[in-house]
Amino acid sequence: MAVVTTLPQSRPLTRADLAAMPDDGHRYELIDGSLIVTPSPSRAHQHAAASLVRLLINPPTGLDLLFAPFDIPLADDTVLQPDVVVVTSVDDVRNVGDPEMVLAVEVLSPSTRLIDLNLKKARLEQAGIASYWVVDPLEPMLIAWELRDGTYVEVARIRGEETWSATLPFEVTICPAELIS
């Protein structure tokens, strides 16, 4: 018999509501108490995310590399699962702000593009995340923002064979075309 999960309709959702969601293979996130359910990623999306993991695989001591699905609670009503994150080293996530995220990366998909470029960017900025990157595997392109005085400032916008050398969260050189090959 299938288990049915019902969600409260009279209030915004919380981390507790998210924890009660079934383990059914869907990717569930909360933004300002609203449930976001995303479809399975495309092949191009998976290649870009895997390439980013390979580039960031050896962070300096004190940092960890994680990738979705992995809940990052920013507030009681906002829990994100960026495609790739670099965080301060922790054993487990129990509290908002644990682990401290220093880089969040989203690979854009047609179904999530506006959310990634607007809502998620705004929430990550508000939470004080040092660096946010988005990768468009279809173009290919990478846009990077860094937090300066509490506001994201675009520090890179590269396409195709162009390269950019990031310094946050650590030094790494990125070429968008190589992320999808």
Per residue in 46-56, pLDDT (tens digit) is 999 999 999 99
Whole-Å CA distances, 160 to 53, 114, 120: 19, 22, 25
pLDDT of residue 9: 66
pLDDT tens-digit readout, 115-167: 999 999 999 999 999 999 999 999 999 999 999 999 999 999 999 999 999 99
Alpha-carbon span 123 to 148, nearest angstrom: 15
CATH architecture of 39-179: Alpha-Beta Complex (3.90)
Kindly report the pTM of this predicted structure.
0.85
pLDDT tens-digit readout, 37-73: 877 788 898 999 999 999 999 999 889 898 888 888 8
- The region of weakest confidence among 10-19, 87-96, 113-122 is 87-96
Residue spans of the domains in the chain: they are 39-179
**Lookup: tokens for 175:** 């070429």
Alpha-carbon span 101 to 18, nearest angstrom: 20
Beta carbons of 106 and 134 less than 8 angstroms apart: yes
pLDDT (mean) for 164-172: 94
